[in-house]
Amino acid sequence: MPKIHSKQISKELSLLRVDDDEVRYFEALWEIENGITYNSYLLTGEDEVILVDGWKREYADDFSETLKDLIDIRDITHVIVHHMEPDHSGSLVKILEENGFRAEVLGHPLVRGMMRAFYGIDVKFRAVKDCERLSLGGLHLEFFHTPWLHWPETIMTYLRGHGILFSGDAFGGFSIPPAIFDDDDEVVSSYLPFVREYISTIIGSYRQHIPRNVKKLMDQRLEIRMIAPAHGLIWRKNPERIIEYYLKIADGIPEEGKVLVIYASMYGSCEEAGNIVAEELKKQGKRVITYGFTDVRWASINKIIGDAVDSESLIIIAPTYENAVFPTISHVADLIARKIPPNKPILVLSSHGWAGVAGKKLAERFRSANFSVIDVVEFKGKPDEDVKKRILESVSKLLSQSSTN
């Protein structure tokens, strides 16, 4: 059952959060067993009521009821849209309808057209400029265009005097943290892996925009006392921590000794190669994380992407299948190539029955994304003693090239 939180944070600010434990495949792609939260905020000024983002359409009725406990929806004077992705904007249609479309929607210039295209509505709209300041009912707002965190229309809003940065998708994460704020270090430590997974899967392809936009905010010399994102924990104890974490993951800075072994295996040959590699890596003192796709289990692709981003090297193993790369690994390889910084050497192993092509194709895909492919070992059927020797040689080549060696 989705849980709803309505919490007054200060005289002017309330959080409205829904814990979505019903979603299974976020964006119809990412299997998130631990759910996600949608965070909306309500700012009440002297005679202005400002709604900051919303929830997913499926929770529009709950959102409306939760808002009605706090205000009369017809009194909302402004709606700030940081990001048009429907997990935030989907419920705004209902709220605007109940508001009689009186509220002025504030957002990036692209938002007006997206509102029309996504929801068929024409709203009273005011495009905010980059670095524009606007005072509403004693609340001093400043808007920043932060493109590609995570779409082109993404903005952030800074509430001057209060030091609050409403950051939209940025500085958010997957999962349903058992707290509202970052006050408890244990809560934060168990939440950060979900942040890593969120950054690498959702923003990974646009990762270079993380440092660019952070620099832009830092150049403004904002005094950030609280970061209020649209997903997950609110950062008030240590807002720098989430900024630094985002920068670290955007750069793909490896955890020392962390190596990922990813394989698919229909009949056990590639799995056997994976076991040989994992055993050797462990002998060499590495922390090995193995993900396999077999006839009895399937790995979680978002966990793979989340773990790949801060690994020091990757080993990818796949059979040749219909003269191509085995489909699950082809998909995973494509996601790695698009979303993960190429600062990790890769070793490719591949088994075939009569004519191997998967190893070469995988190496091409990774090289096209600027990864360094240390070696490709193609073998027929199960790895025999000779193949095993070649695999071990290529593992030591890989280790000698790993960035943290």
Ligand X SMILES: Cc1cc2nc3c(=O)[nH]c(=O)nc-3n(C[C@H](O)[C@H](O)[C@H](O)COP(=O)(O)O)c2cc1C
> Given the rule CB under 6 A, which of 98-106, 165-173, 259-267, 329-337 is the region that contacts ligand X?
259-267
Structural contact between residues 17 and 42, judged by C-beta atoms closer than 8 angstroms: no
Backbone angles phi, psi at 271, to 5 degrees: -65, -40
**In the complex, which residue's CB is closest to ligand X?**
353
Q: Tell me which of 21, 267, 300, 388 binds ligand X, using CB under 6 A.
A: 267
Q: If DSSP states are collapsed to H, E and C, what string results for 262-316?
A: EEECCCCHHHHHHHHHHHHHHHCCCEEEEEEECCCCCCCHHHHHHHHCCCCEEEE
Give the footprint of ligand X on residues 63-82 (CB under 6 A). Answer: none
Distance of CA 348 to the CA centre of its chain: 26
| CB-nearer residue toward ligand X: 2 or 319 | 319
For residue 337, the minimal CB distance to ligand X (Å) is 22
| CB-nearer residue toward ligand X: 12 or 271 | 271
For residue 236, the minimal CB distance to ligand X (Å) is 50
Q: Tell me which of 186, 322, 385, 386 binds ligand X, using CB under 6 A.
A: 322
For residue 388, the minimal CB distance to ligand X (Å) is 15
Indicate whether 311 belongs to the interface with ligand X (CB under 6 A): no
Indicate whether 220 belongs to the interface with ligand X (CB under 6 A): no
- Give the residue carrying structure tokens 């959702």: 202
Q: Tell me which of 321, 376, 377, 387 binds ligand X, using CB under 6 A.
A: 321
CA distance 345 to 374: 6
Under rule CB under 6 A, how many of the chain's residues touch ligand X?
19
Read off the tokens for 366. 């990774």
For residue 327, the minimal CB distance to ligand X (Å) is 10
| CB-nearer residue toward ligand X: 178 or 268 | 268
Give the footprint of ligand X on residues 330-359 (CB under 6 A). Answer: 351-356
| CB-nearer residue toward ligand X: 32 or 362 | 362
Q: Tell me which of 319, 345, 359, 383 binds ligand X, using CB under 6 A.
A: 319
> Given the rule CB under 6 A, which of 70-78, 129-137, 315-323, 369-377 is the region that contacts ligand X?
315-323
Q: Tell me which of 208, 323, 403, 405 binds ligand X, using CB under 6 A.
A: 323
| CB-nearer residue toward ligand X: 91 or 269 | 269
> Given the rule CB under 6 A, which of 134-142, 206-214, 223-231, 267-275 is the region that contacts ligand X?
267-275
Distance of CA 51 to the CA centre of its chain: 24
| CB-nearer residue toward ligand X: 120 or 354 | 354
Indicate whether 269 belongs to the interface with ligand X (CB under 6 A): yes
Would you tell me which residues interact with ligand X (CB under 6 A)? 265-271, 319-323, 351-356, 381
